[in-house]
Chains A and B, each alone.
Chain A
Amino acid sequence: MADIHSSDAFVEFERVQKSYDGENLVVKDLNLVMPKGEFLTMLGPSGSGKTTCLMMLAGFETATHGDIRLDGESINNIPPHKRGIGMVFQNYALFPHMTVAENLSFPLEVRKMGKSEREAKVKRVLDMVQMGEFGGRRPAQLSGGQQQRIALARALVFEAELVLMDEPLGALDKQLREHMQFEIKRIADNLGITVVYVTHDQTEALTMSDRVAVFDDGRIQQLAPPDTLYEQPENSFVAQFIGENNTLEGVVKEINGDVALVRLDDGELIDCKPVNVSKPGERTRVSIRPERVEYNKERLQEGVHTLKAEVMEFIYMGDIFRTRLKVAGNDEFIIKTRNAPDQVRLQPGTQIEIGWLPQDCRALDA
């Protein structure tokens, strides 16, 4: 966040709070700065405040406190229809009594645009989402994926610079969803529009976004590009929420610069990178990604601490092997290995030793 200055901010949330009942804050002190052209995803479990943030930006909810700015202007008191923000809804909200073309020309009509201009724009946007021949159909005659495209087209047809998407792919099956993720990203990049995308699907967030804001409990827990988010989670919520994660609990024994020595609860010692811990004696939760765990002794670095582990279960998943281990009293410890020709298939009951690079193992808040 530090590298973006308010001067090139396009969308800006400043100290925004939202409460529905006057007792609980749904959004607590939200600060967010987005430059033009960014694809930002708000990711979080349900009830984390992400949709509320989107609705405040769209104008359907008012902020209880704080300032929301669009292109430098405060929009707190501007009604939704004057904000000029495109929006794709969770259930598409295509008007059932209008044809596809009428749906698309609706935002142009309310802008009092001429008929020929409207038709040209509708045709252009239909071609863009590859639905050129469907202008005369009713939404009910389209499949889920086609409706999705039309909903996208309708948000884009009036050339909004900012488009909000509220879990737009939630109703599609997996294959179509993956295809549409790519499609939406491609169109957004081509048009250079700014997108705020809300989802609870972390894969979607990682694959599509320039940056991801992870929401929990009404706050942004971490705002970072996908790779940073995955590899360097700043707290245990983010580590747990994004991707698969192994957790071990213990107490910090000592910190030497970039390496912290942690004594796990069963007495074993491991090396970690201190992230959310500052002094010896603090409780910590250590997070390691399953694919960063090594059990082949030849590949382990000299002098690193290793842990004894017992293989509980071996699952063949095609491209990878997923092995469940019992490590330091935790029998939900997962490791993932690539299905390479020389890869060993661990049999349940086998005793092995595991280790990792200290920087892959992050000591987070307890």
Chain B
Amino acid sequence: MSDQTTSGPVLAADGTPLKRSLARALRLQKMRALALIAPLLLFVLITFIAPIADMLFRSVENQIVSETLPQTVVALADWDPTTGEAPDEAVYRALAADLKVAVEDKTHTRLGSRLNYELTGASSLFRKSGRKVKRMDLESDTSFKEAFTDIDRKWGEVAIWETIQTYSPKYTNGYFLNAVDMRKGPDGPEARPENQQIYMMLFGRTLFMSLVITMSCIILGYPVAWLLANLPTRTSNLLMILVLLPFWTSLLVRTSAWKVMLQQQGVINDTLVWLGLVADDARLVMINNQFGTIVAMTHILLPFMILPMYSVMQTIQPSYLRAAKSMGATNWTAFWRVYFPQSVPGIGAGSILVFILSIGYYITPEIVGGNTGTFISNRIAYHISSSLNWGLAAALGAILLAVVLLLYYVYDKIVGIDNVKLGG
């Protein structure tokens, strides 16, 4: 015990300040705890955090233009596209010099595909010019402008030069503008023509369908969770196995099963036709559209809704309902005023889980979504694996991440994250 009557910090037995000796005593504990989680931390850092950070960085990175055409970018800096005239001879000479190096390094085709995202035809233009630029002689040739316009008259137009100039900085917001259906114009960002707009619609559809899926999970899952929590143990265990059974089945198998069920020659349509409810030539279209995606995903995500609801409902004692009834509440009032409010944390936890899972879902919409039932994630996958426009994919992914975080924040403000319970 230190003497409290003396002024100054409380001292430990050996005279050092108590705070410092406490910190020293705790430091070893902290180090030991850190050493225990270090392997996992490193693993997550290397395999999860770093790739995500790298991908997100790609959404703004744009060094390919200035690296492949260093001299051209400098020479083009003073050109004003609003004059409507192609740049002067110096720019064409710089382009010839840059392209010669690029062709040797074989980087000109990559630049071509990069610029092709912004200007259709740029890819073939660069490939064609690459072949012919070898024949140019930087020392003896005089008019490079003529030589390039001979290769392709596009080189004499403003569009390609404008694109090169717009995308010459090392970092660009072009991918993000693209991801929200806009593009860089001469006067800053502008909307794309309507026939090119797709991403905002996809984002909207993804959010809307995720909401529908979450709502149908709540409606279908609530009674099941209630039964699970209130049936005698033996029956409820059996029911629990039925709920978990889909969990142990492959996702692909379940989705394909829905394909079998819902297609026009599938089980449901066949049954309806057999029963005479639907004419043979008017079979219902239930797959490869939004309906199919919603049905299949509701089924797949249902356990994620039921389990949090169940674990919350389990903690609601039956005596609450009895108490309400003893005070004169009807069954419905007792449920609505007493039971339901106490089960809301379970609904909240299940909803967050289902909504966030479904907003990024890929496999099921890919298989049963057709054209109208696909999500933004399917578009991201397309840009990653088919169009190879990783920058755009990264921008779309970053927006998706931001939307989820924003919704999470809003949810926290409205419902309160403390009200979310996964059990106990």
Interface residues of chain A, those whose CB is within 8 Å of chain B, are 58-60, 79-87, 89-91, 93, 95-97, 106-107, 110-111, 154-155, 158, 164
Shortest beta-carbon distance from B231 to chain A in Å? 16
Interchain CB contact (< 8 A) of A93 among B317, B328, B330, B337: B317
Q: Specify which of A96, A97, A106, A164 is in contact with B327 (CB 8 Å cutoff).
A: A106
Q: List 16 A-B contacts (CB under 8 A).
A: A60-B325, A79-B325, A80-B326, A82-B328, A89-B323, A91-B319, A93-B319, A93-B320, A93-B322, A95-B323, A95-B338, A95-B342, A106-B327, A107-B327, A110-B329, A164-B326
Q: A81-B330, A97-B341, A97-B342 in contact; A91/B317 too (CB < 8 A)?
A: yes
A110 with B333: in contact, given A97-B342, A158-B328 (CB under 8 Å)? yes
Q: Are B319 and A89 in contact (CB-based, < 8 A)?
A: yes
Specify which of B320, B322, B323, B330 lies most central, judged by the most chain A CB atoms within 10 Å of its CB: B323
Q: Which single member of B324, B326, B342 contacts A96 (CB below 8 Å)?
A: B342
A110 touching B327, Cβ below 8 Å: yes
Contact in complex: A154, B317 (CB < 8 Å)? no
Complex: how many Å from CA A86 to CA B323?
9
Q: How far is the CB of A229 from chain B (nearest CB, A)?
A: 29
Contact of B322 among A80, A96, A107, A111 (CB under 8 A): A80
Among A59, A80, A90, A164, the residue within 8 A (CB) of B319 is A90
Closest to B341 in A: A97
> A81: which of B320, B329, B338, B342 is its contact (CB, 8 Å)?
B329
Q: Specify which chain B residues have a CB less than 8 angstroms from the CB of A91 in the assembled complex.
A: 317, 319
Report whether B329 and A95 are in contact in the complex, using a CB–CB cutoff of 8 Å.
Answer: no
Complex Cα–Cα for A89 and B320 (A): 9
Whether A86 lies near B319 (C-beta < 8 A) is no
Given contacts A58-B326, A60-B325, 8 further A-B contacts (CB under 8 A): A80-B322, A82-B328, A83-B326, A89-B323, A95-B342, A106-B327, A106-B337, A154-B327
Complex-state Cα separation, A82 to B334, whole angstroms = 13
* Cα separation A107 to B334 with both chains bound (whole Å): 11
Q: Which 8 A-B pairs have the closest CB atoms?
A: A107-B327, A93-B323, A87-B326, A93-B319, A80-B325, A97-B341, A110-B329, A81-B325
A58, A83, A87, A90 interface centre (most CB from chain B within 10 Å)? A87
Cβ–Cβ contact A81 & B326, under 8 A:
yes
Q: How many A-B residue pairs have CB under 8 A?
A: 65
Give the CA-CA distance A80 to B341 in the complex, in Å: 22
Q: How far is the CA of A81 from the CA of B326 in the complex (A)?
A: 5
Docked complex Cα distance between A89 and B338 (Å): 15
* A95-B338, A96-B342, A97-B342 known; A111 vs B328 contact (CB < 8 Å): yes
CB closest residue in chain A, given B327:
A107
* Cβ contacts under 8 Å, B337 to chain A: 106
Choose from B322, B331, B341, B342 the contact partner of A89 (Cβ within 8 Å): B322
**B347 to chain A: closest CB distance in Å?**
14
Specify which chain A residues have a CB less than 8 angstroms from the CB of B330 in the assembled complex: 81, 110
Of chain B, the residue at the smallest CB distance from A151 is B323
Least Cβ–Cβ distance between B58 and chain A, in angstroms: 47
Most buried by A among B325, B328, B342: B328
Residue pair A84, B319 in contact (C-beta under 8 Å)? no
Contact, CB under 8 Å: B327 / A158: yes
> Could you say which residues of chain B place their CB within 8 Å of the CB of A60?
322, 325
CA distance A238 to B197 in the complex (A): 87
* A93-B317, A97-B342, A110-B333 given; A84·B328 CB < 8 A: yes
Interface centre among A59, A80, A90 (most CB of B within 10 A): A80
A346 to B329, CA, bound (A): 62
CB distance from A56 to the nearest CB of B (A): 13
Bound form: Cα–Cα A91–B315 in Å: 13
Which chain A residues border B329 with CB–CB below 8 Å?
A: 81, 106-107, 110
Please measure, in the bound complex, the distance between the C-alpha atom of A107 and the C-alpha atom of B322, giving whole angstroms: 13
A290 to B: closest C-beta gap in Å: 39
Chain B residues with Cβ under 8 A from A86's Cβ?
Answer: 326-327
Q: Which A residues lie within 8 Å of B327 (CB)?
A: 81, 86, 106-107, 110, 154, 158
Residue of B324, B327, B329, B338 with most partner-chain A CB within 10 A: B327
Bound-complex Cα distance A97 to B341 (A): 7
The CA-CA distance from A80 to B317 in the complex, in Å, is 18
Which chain A residue shows the least CB distance to B329? Answer: A110
| Chain A neighbourhood of B331, CB < 8 A | 81
Complex Cα distance A224/B328, Å? 33
Residues of B within 8 A of A154 (CB): 323, 327
